[in-house]
Amino acid sequence: MSGRRVFVSGVGGELGTLVARMLEDEPWVGSLAGIDADPPRRRLQRTTYHRLSPDNHDQIVDTITDFNPHVLVHLGVWEPDARASPKAAGVLTEQAATSILGAAAECRALESIVVRSGTEIYGRGRGSLTRPAENAPIKPTSEYGHTLAGIEAIASSVARRVGVTVGAVRLASVFGAHVPSPLGRLLRMPAVPFSAPTDPPFAVIEHNDAARALVAAARNQLAEPVNVVASGAITALHAIRRGRRIPVPVFGPQWLLARRLSYMLGAPIPDHVAETLTRGRLADNGRMEELLGITADVSTVEVIDHLYHWPSVVRRPARVPAAQQIGSAS
């Protein structure tokens, strides 16, 4: 496999920019293009960037079909309260998935689709598995989980219709310097709520490891879902103490007040984050090395330690030369 055309949606996000940058170094990649409403976070050397918003359906379709990719990497996912409100995030993600994956179905050269998904897709309802593997039932119990399930369903439908492979990379919560994360932002607050007395464990993934997994999925033409989760686990109280923050125990119904106060202080807690704090969020990463050929370099505890030393978990300004921009945001 060489000289492949690869198209990356969501290239303007910190993770999308990093994925595009890594793909530029892959010998099997011949040409690269990407779209996003926002420019890439770093300078890209050989990726053609098209500035298009998710609601610009016709131009998105024209851009993708004209490029006619062999591989589509769909990262156009808005996590609630990361960069947009939960309602806006859901609308933007649905618009992007419908336009981009629909356009992919019209590309005659298409061989494989890789989509970003997340471990929220398994849900944390009554009777759900504590550490689900990829074959666990899909029973999302948060708005974000339902959104991710919808993306996987659209991608699978397109793949079946046109006879290509589809791989879903189910990421744990992604942490990284300048990576918008509602959970990361909350944990960096001076005083942080935690669920008492249970304080269940959760796992995360560092953004470089997440990007490596997505690139490996594209390289290997992943044809099934895979959990991408760092080793180990941590509880909110443990994380708070490692960050030398003030722990605030919250019991049952008090979470409603805690979420309101957190919102007022600039760290909203969307339902999937509240679910992580009150019920935990783990997943079996046993097939990660088998399917992708990689393991996470940074453990969950190490990621949390890094979290408190990063300059920010807010987006950095874009750094893209004007020559790389094609089209305009609507």
Q: What is the pLDDT of residue 2?
A: 73
Mean pLDDT of the 185-192 span? 97
User: Which domains are seen in the chain, by residue range?
Assistant: 4-175+203-228+283-293 (3.40.50.720)
Read off the pLDDT of each residue in 67-81 and give the average, rounded to a whole number. Answer: 97
pLDDT of residue 330: 27
Helix ranges, 280-318 (H): 288-292, 300-307
Q: What 3-state DSSP class applies to 271?
A: helix
pLDDT at 323 (0 to 100): 36
Q: From CA 10, how far away is CA 235, in angstroms rounded?
A: 31
pLDDT at 315: 67
Whole-model pTM? 0.94
User: Distance between CA atoms of 85 and 270, rounded to whole angstroms?
Assistant: 9
The per-residue pLDDT for 311 is 87
User: Mind listing the pLDDT tens digit for each residue in 101-144?
Assistant: 999 999 999 999 999 999 999 999 988 999 999 999 999 999 99
Q: Specify the 3-state DSSP secondary structure of 168.
A: strand
Structure tokens at 314: 């807010």
In the chain, the percentage of residues whose pLDDT exceeds 90 is: 92
CB 284 within 8 Å of CB 208: no
How do residues 287-321 score in pLDDT, each as one tens digit? 999 999 999 999 999 999 999 999 877 766 665 44
Q: Confidence class of residue 326 from pLDDT cuts 50, 70 and 90?
A: very low
What values do phi and psi take at 198, rounded to 5?
-75, -50
- How confident is the model at residue 113, as a pLDDT? 98
* SS3 (DSSP) at 86: helix
Q: Mean pLDDT across the stretch 80-95? A: 94
Measured from the Cβ of residue 226, the count of other Cβ atoms closer than 10 Å reads 24
**Which tokens sit at 192?**
């942080």
pLDDT band at 327 (very low <50, low <70, confident <90, very high): very low
Q: What is the pLDDT of residue 47?
A: 97
Q: How far is the C-alpha of 104 from the C-alpha of 73, rounded, in Å?
A: 10
Task: For residue 130, give every residue at least 6 positions away whose Cβ sits within 8 Å of its Cβ, in sequence order, or none.
Answer: 280, 282
Q: What is the CA radius of gyration of the chain?
A: 19
- Whether 150 contacts 94, CB under 8 Å: yes
| φ, ψ at 194 (rounded to 5°) | -140, 155
Average confidence score pLDDT of the chain? 94
